[in-house]
């Protein structure tokens, strides 16, 4: 393979063979393909895209660049969910135990958040003692015995993504839909799953800002997942206001437990029920979405989802006492209300601003090396369409470093657009791509 020739071929709109793609990815991981040539090829892909066949080959080559879990010895469906990330998105945390309680296994390997608040792993690690770095055999044991286990990406899972993502990050090629799809799917396929539900967020505070781009990504992911042998469905969901009331790591653990107790915010519960219902269908536990949803609601009502959560926390070394006593979670030292500057109706909430406020308080990270403060964040006090009077709280900041309060306050105040027109929040699920 002459790499310069490969780059030219892609640049001119030609198609690469699976064998060539597999050599490229092996070279990226092994060092045979230097960064400057890999970067040039990524830019050619950015402009020319990948054909369906190229995308499958690219994803398979990435997947097999590292360890792949084999869960075929476990009976029944193995289904995961992936979200492209939103503000207050704690859905995976109540979802996985509820789906497991209904008989479908959920092997979940998540990433850490960069920007906004933390990712699922950061949230789980706010439970004292909770370990997300379990060895592979322990992960498989957790899935087999409890029905779910949630761990972090390791060096040996899809190492090609680590190299390629780092290059994309500094060469203006992050935004390529086929490259995003290959990156997401290769990591999910490594879990050894048979089904996958994707939650593609759209709106302010989401990775995909427009519905058109989100739909493009959802269609590419669904096509790629199904062609790779995993039953895949995507939900396009609205991210024009945070999910639930809590934004911040330990705060989102509290809200997740409230969902499992049957005391969660309606929007959060509804999304868990919708996605969970679909996971039960893909996992073969039921043939109908409505029945799947009813079972998820049943697992909330009878406490079986909460019981699986307790077992998972114990299995992963966490303090199970947090389930009954939120005081055992990290707590911020101060709380400060952000009040409405004028009265009126909440017309819009800029989720990006809310996420940034949580980041400023220490709840997210700007670089991979930043440490997260699990205790801080904010609680939304009013949602889209709510009436507020001047001076009434819009949100409460939970703070450890009071020097951050002015910046976080300004971000939250600016994020709330208050006006006169009546507003009602639209549906969270915008579209389903099958």
Count CA atoms within 13 Å of residue 238 on its CB side: 15
161 is catalytic: yes
24 binds ligand URA (CB under 6 A): no
Q: Which is nearer to ligand URA, 60 or 183 (CB)?
A: 183
Catalytic residue among 105, 168, 295, 365: 168
Q: Which is nearer to ligand URA, 161 or 293 (CB)?
A: 161
CA distances from 413 to 190, 242, 327, 339, 364 (A): 42, 15, 29, 7, 19
Q: Tell me the closest approach of the beta carbon of residue 117 to ligand URA, in angstroms.
A: 16
Choose the stretch contacting ligand URA; rule: CB under 6 A; options: 151-159, 176-184, 287-295, 297-305.
176-184
183 binds ligand URA (CB under 6 A): yes
Catalytic residue among 81, 82, 295, 404: 82
If one counts every other C-beta atom within 10 angstroms of the C-beta of residue 178, the result is 21
Q: Which is nearer to ligand URA, 207 or 416 (CB)?
A: 207
Q: Which is nearer to ligand URA, 192 or 305 (CB)?
A: 192
Cα gap 307→323, rounded to integer Å: 10
> Nearest to residue 361, comparing CAs of 415, 416, 405, 412?
405
Site for ligand URA in 143-172 (CB under 6 A): 165
Name 272's Cβ contacts closer than 8 Å, sequence gap at least 6.
91, 94, 95, 98, 259, 264, 296
Cα gap 236→201, rounded to integer Å: 6
Q: Tell me the closest approach of the beta carbon of residue 204 to ligand URA, in angstroms.
A: 17
Of 40, 127, 184, 200, which lies in the binding site for ligand URA, with binding defined by CB under 6 A? 184
117 binds ligand URA (CB under 6 A): no
Cα gap 169→114, rounded to integer Å: 12
Q: Tell me the closest approach of the beta carbon of residue 208 to ligand URA, in angstroms.
A: 10
No. of H helices and E strands in the chain?
A: 16, 13
Choose the stretch contacting ligand URA; rule: CB under 6 A; options: 178-186, 256-264, 383-391, 394-402.
178-186
Strands (E) located in 172-305: 195-202, 231-238, 246-247
183 is catalytic: yes
Choose the stretch contacting ligand URA; rule: CB under 6 A; options: 35-43, 130-138, 179-187, 396-404.
179-187
Choose the stretch contacting ligand URA; rule: CB under 6 A; options: 144-152, 180-188, 333-341, 370-378.
180-188
209 is catalytic: no
Cα gap 335→378, rounded to integer Å: 9
> Nearest to residue 377, comparing CAs of 398, 403, 408, 348?
398
Q: Which is nearer to ligand URA, 87 or 340 (CB)?
A: 87
168 is catalytic: yes
CA distances from 294 to 196, 276, 286, 417, 434 (A): 20, 10, 11, 37, 21
Is 137 within 8 Å of 316 (Cβ atoms)? no
Q: Which is nearer to ligand URA, 46 or 69 (CB)?
A: 46
Cα gap 432→434, rounded to integer Å: 6
Q: Which is nearer to ligand URA, 212 or 414 (CB)?
A: 212
For 116, list phi and psi in degrees, rounded to 5: 45, -140
Element (H, E) at 121: helix 120-124
Catalytic residue among 65, 92, 110, 183: 183
Of 45, 160, 180, 399, which lies in the binding site for ligand URA, with binding defined by CB under 6 A? 180
List 388's β-bridge partners, or say none: 344
What is the binding site for ligand URA (CB under 6 A)?
165, 180, 183-184
For the annotated catalytic residues, the residue numbers are 82, 161, 168, 183, 187
């Amino acid at each position: 393979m002459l790499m310069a020739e490969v780059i030219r071929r892609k640049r001119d709109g030609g198609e690469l063979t699976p064998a060539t793609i597999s050599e490229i990815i092996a070279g990226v991981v092994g060092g045979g393909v230097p960064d400057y040539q890999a970067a040039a090829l990524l830019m050619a892909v950015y402009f020319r895209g990948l054909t369906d066949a190229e995308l499958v080959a690219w994803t398979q080559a990435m997947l097999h660049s590292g360890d792949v879990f084999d869960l075929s010895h476990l009976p029944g469906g193995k289904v995961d969910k992936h979200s492209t990330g939103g503000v207050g998105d704690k859905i995976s945390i109540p979802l996985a135990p509820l789906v497991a309680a209904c008989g479908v296994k959920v092997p979940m390997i998540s990433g850490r958040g960069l920007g906004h608040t933390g990712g699922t792993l950061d949230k789980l690690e706010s439970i004292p003692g909770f370990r997300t770095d379990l060895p592979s055999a322990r992960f498989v044991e957790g899935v087999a015995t409890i029905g779910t286990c949630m761990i972090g990406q390791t060096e040996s899972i899809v190492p090609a993504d680590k190299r390629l993502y780092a290059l994309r990050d500094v060469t203006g090629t992050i935004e390529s839909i086929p490259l995003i799809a290959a990156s997401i799917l290769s990591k999910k396929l490594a879990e050894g799953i048979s089904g996958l539900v994707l939650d593609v967020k759209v709106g302010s505070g989401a990775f995909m800002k427009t519905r058109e781009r989100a739909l493009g990504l959802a269609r590419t992911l669904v096509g790629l997942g199904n062609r790779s042998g995993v039953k895949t469905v995507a939900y396009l969901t609205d991210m024009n206001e945070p999910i639930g009331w809590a934004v911040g790591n330990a705060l989102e653990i509290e809200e997740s437990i409230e969902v499992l107790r049957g005391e969660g915010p309606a929007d959060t519960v509804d999304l868990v029920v919708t996605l969970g219902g679909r996971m039960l269908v893909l996992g073969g536990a039921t043939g109908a979405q409505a029945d799947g949803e009813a079972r998820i609601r049943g697992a909330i009502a009878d406490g079986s989802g909460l019981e699986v959560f307790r077992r998972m926390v114990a299995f992963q070394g966490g303090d199970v006492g947090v389930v009954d006593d939120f005081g055992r979670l990290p707590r911020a030292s101060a709380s400060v209300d952000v009040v409405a500057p004028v009265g009126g109706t909440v017309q819009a909430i800029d989720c990006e601003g809310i996420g940034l406020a949580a980041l400023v308080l220490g709840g997210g990270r700007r670089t991979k090396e930043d440490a997260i403060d699990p205790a801080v964040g904010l609680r939304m006090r009013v949602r889209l369409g709510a009436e507020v009077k001047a001076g009434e709280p819009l949100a409460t900041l939970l703070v450890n470093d009071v020097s951050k309060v002015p910046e976080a306050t300004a971000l939250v105040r600016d994020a709330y657009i208050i006006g006169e027109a009546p507003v009602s929040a639209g549906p969270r699920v915008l579209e389903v791509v099958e």
